[in-house]
Chains A and B, each alone.
Chain A
Amino acid sequence: MLSRTADNLYWIARYMERAETMARLLEVGARIALLPSSGHGYRSEWDSLLQASGTANGFAHKYGDPVQRNIESYLFFDRDNVSSVASCLFRARENARIVRTALTTQVWDAINTAYQELRELERTPRSELALSRLTEWTMRHSAMVRGAIDATLLRNDGWDFLNLGYHLERADNTARLMDVKYYVLLPRIEFVGSGLDNYQWTTLLRAMSAHRAFHWAYGGEVTARKIAHFLILNPQCPRSLISCAQGMNDHLDRLARGYGKPTDAQAKARLLLSELVDGSVDAVFDEGMHEFLSRFIIQVAGLAACVHESYLSGDVR
């Protein structure tokens, strides 16, 4: 298929997934902020959220102090913020419009409906929009788009590029969401293992819609080690880093088979996966959670660059 078409498909998925993550981040922030301030204050939590989403500088430049209302606007509606839910959905829809021929009517319909409704939301007074409604709305539409892709799209190379986009973005985003937790807690080492610590971990699970699943899988008390295992190393968890890495490998392998030749991307993806397969929670904590996650995020970015070179840039030989 045309490299540009593949690129558009890949970015539809990345933007859709990113929009969903933004909504999840907002939920994490809002829930943590509901907790009575325990000395280090609510301000730093929102701040860590902006840090984790990579939007802190942009926000500071536009608004200054992190006030919840402004953060909500900035992360959901603001088109100046390239990572806001609105920016992501608009670009996903624009990409979809360009490659209408590579999508089914159902997929287009799902994306276009989200876009039309978003334009409605933009016209609605903010005071009438509860944050929970916005985050639920985002997750519902992202699920509908994914459902339409799963149920109707031809399983050709375009499908692989879409899914590659989803898995790459999700790997990056799960790592970032976990990092929020790191930013919130690290400065106050004495909180580790406290009620606050557990509350924050639980919130993180909730935001990943993995709260119940976690209990089914592990039972008992919520601990940092269990959660780290769940979100990093457990292939049963659909958002875990290992599941994402597995997904990237599956779709890259399908591409290599279909095209009759592998590229550097396959090798890189296999390396990423094997590290996780061989990894353990102890190793992660020995390295330091933040250090591990930062390294992982950089590796994923490297793989994304490699996918671009190997398939999407149009300079493939």
Chain B
Amino acid sequence: MTSYFNEMFQGDAVRSPYARLEDWTRSMPAELRQMKQAEAEALFRRIGITFAVYGEGGDPDRLIPFDMFPRVFTNAEWTRLERGIKQRARALNAFLLDIYGRGEIVRAGRIPARLVYQNEAYEKAVAGIVPPKGVYSHIVGIDLVRTGPDEFFVLEDNCRTPSGVSYMLENREIMMRMFPDLFRENRILPVDGYPELLRRTLASVAPVKCDGEPTVVILTPGHFNSAYYEHSFLADLMGVELVEGQDLFVEGEFVWMRTTEGPKRVDVIYRRIDDAFIDPLCFRPDSMLGVPGLMDVYRSGGVAICSAPGAGVADDKAVYTFVPEMIRFYLGEEPILQNVPTWQCAKPDDCKYVLSHLAELVVKEVHGSGGYGMLVGPKSTPEQVAAFAERIRIDPGNYIAQPTLALSTVPTFVEEGIAPRHVDLRPYCLVGERVELVPGGLTRVALTSGSLVVNSSQGGGVKDTWVLAE
């Protein structure tokens, strides 16, 4: 029986960050709790946050369950995490700048050329481009899991357009509305500066041709997209326009948006659509979502695109294994956050090991996301394991495997009362002129007893994440 790190209880003792929460739960009888839970859900529905986290699909009008029991970090814990996250975000950006430039890391033999240049996500169209401030990935979402008091592992990096940050903000908003006393008793660092930080980050990477205050927009695929709420939420909080491809056009050396007063120049585009769709002249010709000619303007320094096209190669699951190497190579530092040991089925030796240890491993598709197409060995029947082994044998290059991590648990409100449930964490690191991180993130929780899969499409929920002041 694996033992899991419980973030609140060590034996019978309560860990310090959760000290005040024990009284809080005691003072809340079941009826009051149910009332509060219903109130929280009504608030969410009213606000209209009903969207699935990036790439998880599903019904756009579905509500992700919100658990009222917060997840808490001490200031010391967070300080270490913060250093680790920023370090990683810097290294990932250095890597992107390098591989679209001279490719020093490949020349130095620290990462196989094939893995970089043959990668599906490597965008030949942007080779040689240095984006403003040399930043490719402006919002880096790093998925973390915890297995002990000081043991954190990075599960994956999201360098393109990680979503879910509106949940981080709304979870806090709703907790503060419902339990103001908790916020008086605990000194919790605020997260509501995020939209302003994001705006400043985006403005800081305005292209060279921009003179004066840069005009920032968010580019959305449209209101049918499952994350449309988040796009409009962020646009609203930042006070910038939310545009669709049809609202933009290219003329001369610039990108313009169509307004009631005539064309207005756009300097920075925070795009929430994939590379393949942003410019039909450069990428997919059948894309109706993008702006024809956008890439030409980008190349000539007329507009900044965040994240920069091509950033996706850094969050590939096979490239992931080399991130510690990037940190050493570019920053000359030792990684603060560890990677999860990973076997790549593309390598015959690794594949052999994986196939003979399937029952104890987690196997994922290289390009998969959302908890689909994966095998959690210890939680699967022998038949499921056998069936999955067959899939690996057919296409080994499509799979990687990792040991089953003993994800930490946080007390969670469930039908029977309060019970430990497994959690992960996605903080959102902002990279522009400076590297910034608000103290918090999105905690996802597997609501099913014993489940290690936190994705909302697989029955996961979300929690407010607290970082205590010193």
Contact = CB atoms under 8 A, between A and B. Distances in A.
Interface of A: 1-6, 94, 97-98, 100-101, 108-109, 112, 157, 161, 255, 259, 311-312, 314-317
Contacts of B157: none
Contact of A312 (B236, B246, B257, B260): B260
A316 B260 contact: yes
A317 B260 contact: no
A311 B262 CA distance: 8
A96 to B, nearest CB: 10
- The interface centre, meaning the residue of A1, A6, A100 with most chain B CB atoms within 10 A of its CB, is A100
B263 A317 contact: yes
Contact of B259 (A2, A98, A112, A161): A2
Interface stretch (B99-107, B237-245, B271-279, B287-295): B237-245
12 contacts: A1-B259, A2-B258, A3-B259, A4-B247, A97-B223, A101-B236, A108-B48, A161-B260, A259-B260, A259-B261, A316-B263, A317-B262
A2 B247 contact: yes
A314 B223 contact: no
Contacts of B261: 259, 316
A93 B247 CA distance: 21
B26 interface: no
Contact of B241 (A2, A157, A259): A2
Contacts of B434: none
A314 B262 CA distance: 8
Nearest to B243: A2
A315 B258 contact: yes
B232 interface: yes
B184 interface: no
Given A2-B243, A3-B247, A4-B247, A100 B258 contact: no
Contacts of B223: 94, 97-98
A6 B257 CA distance: 13
Contact of B262 (A4, A112, A312, A316): A316
Chain B contact residues (Cβ within 8 angstroms of A): what range? 20 to 34
A157 B232 contact: no
Interface string B191-224: 0000000000000000000000000000000010
Question: Which 7 pairs of residues, A with B, have the shortest CB-CB distance?
Answer: A314-B258, A101-B236, A311-B260, A3-B258, A98-B223, A6-B260, A100-B232
B46 A109 contact: yes
B235 interface: yes
Given A98-B223, A109-B46, A316 B259 contact: yes
Given A3-B260, A98-B223, A316-B262, 10 more contacts: A2-B247, A2-B257, A2-B260, A4-B244, A97-B223, A100-B236, A101-B236, A101-B242, A161-B260, A316-B258
Contacts, number: 55
Contacts of B262: 316-317
Interface in B289-346: none
Interface of B: 46, 48, 223, 228-229, 232, 235-236, 241-244, 246-247, 257-263
A100 B229 CA distance: 9
Contacts of A312: 260
B260 A101 contact: no
A109 B247 CA distance: 27
- The interface centre, meaning the residue of A2, A98, A314 with most chain B CB atoms within 10 A of its CB, is A2
Contact of B258 (A4, A97, A112, A157): A4
B244 to A, nearest CB: 7
Given A100-B236, A314-B247, A1 B242 contact: no
- The interface centre, meaning the residue of B46, B260, B261, B262 with most chain A CB atoms within 10 A of its CB, is B260
B372 to A, nearest CB: 28
A311 B27 CA distance: 58
A126 B242 CA distance: 41
A97 B228 CA distance: 9
A100 B259 CA distance: 17
Contacts of A101: 232, 235-236, 242
B247 to A, nearest CB: 5
Contacts of A259: 260-261
A157 to B, nearest CB: 6
A265 B247 CA distance: 22
Contacts of B260: 1-3, 6, 157, 161, 255, 259, 311-312, 316
